[in-house]
Structure 1
């Protein structure tokens, strides 16, 4: 049994989030239709990982581009695109520093990817970069878990996933949390047993920035010259069930619109 980084095994990363894809994709399409300003064709995902969402949107006929810093993730994305006979663009780049010549109609960044930006400066730089690469009144769907206002004990989550003869058991925990620094350490433990019997043990830890609803509102207010908040939802992905953007919201799915 070997130790490895989660990002070096993108197939397991993909397995963990695969079940969310259909709900996210349906929500994107509904949001584009309801809140978009005209036809939406060109899409962008910063921090695309394995490209599961880019690939899903490409399969629906969208012109999709994904950006990520992980070469293994991007290579996996390109292999999956080739196997399915699909076309999309995969770019190695920094979420807080990117530029495109041709604008996009919409962008999306869900499931806490935004929280990899560990400082307010990085977060604002990211929002400005996204705004710069969108058409006027382009949409940005941004999703992340939020913290409650009061102190709490982090939950340990356990999942079992199966695909093509591989059984993957995942444990997600938070061994360290610093509310003052607004940073937590996320620990991912994965145990994979492949069809051949080979076992792979993956243990990864990485920091994420913490946000309460109030803190996220404060950040977005600083970018209010670039984006307006159109509507707020949760991870139920129900376009007909918007949620109040208040301290009770712990799963934030925001539809933002570029001002201009």
Structure 2
């Protein structure tokens, strides 16, 4: 077993196709929900930094935070190659202590579900709230499970870049609805242009949420972060979704509430 997060070059390839849609949605959400200029952005759990780099390229002041040093090292080199600047911080997304107040933050594609307890999830949400200005937004995306979820689901897909082909298999190897945990096995087979093969396999737990459990969690911080809309992974700003059991790939737009002085 290895940690697939220690191989950011592969991790980046398998999610890069989502970047353009996410960036477009972010900017549409800034226009729709944030009053005043949106310039300072935060991505907790930024990983390989595809979104940090994309938003920096568009002229935003971006801060990326992650617990994984190889990911941040990879991102730093990527930014240098492209002549871009961003602030990169090695840190815990549940205990952020940054000097900046941000106009917006974003965390998509299940990073949030790595927080496997309600205590950690609430700590993270409060930490984000601490770092948003009043009226700023947090775009939070993660999968919610249907009530009849398949406990043995498997996903497979491939990606190609620079002559390297990466095959990915994500398989649920343990599912415990009572404990609200699933264990995901990620298997990667990378084949270079020259035929060299590299295999990586790792397992990690993710917290389970039904849409009702997600709404219940967010209600606990609603005095600080209020749900203003929900979407799905189609990222269509003109098609907000009803927060019912049909919403599986959820993207919540949360807005920082004005807090009383003192």
Per the shorter chain, which TM-score range? over 0.9
Shift of residue 6, structure 1, vs aligned partner: 0.9
Q: 1:208 aligns with which of 206, 209, 215?
A: 206
Tell me which residue corresponds to 1:243. 241
- Residue 21 of structure 1 aligns to a residue whose secondary structure is helix
Tell me which residue corresponds to 1:65. 63
Contact 1:4 1:201 in 2 (8 A): no
What is the rounded CA distance, in whole Å, between the counterparts of 2:113 and 2:100 in structure 1? 27
- Alpha-carbon RMSD across the aligned residues, in angstroms, is 1.0
Whether 1:21 and 2:19 are equivalent positions in the alignment is yes
Tell me which residue corresponds to 2:123. 125
- Residue 79 of structure 2 aligns to a residue whose secondary structure is helix
What is the rounded CA distance, in whole Å, between the counterparts of 2:156 and 2:140 in structure 1? 25
Using the size of structure 2 for normalisation, the TM-score is 0.97
The residue correspondences of 1:177-216 to structure 2 (distance < 5 A) are 177-216=175-214
Aligned length: 258
Runs of 4+ in 1 over 3 A off after TM superposition: none
Whether 1:259 and 2:261 are equivalent positions in the alignment is no
Shift of residue 84, structure 1, vs aligned partner: 0.2
Q: 1:45 aligns with which of 26, 43, 46?
A: 43
Using the size of structure 1 for normalisation, the TM-score is 0.97
Contact 2:151 2:172 in 1 (8 A): no
Contact 2:145 2:211 in 1 (8 A): yes
Tell me which residue corresponds to 2:232. 234
The residue correspondences of 1:77-226 to structure 2 (distance < 5 A) are 77-226=75-224
Cα deviation, 1:125-174, whole Å, max 9, x if unaligned, reads: 00000000010111000000001123434421111110000011111110
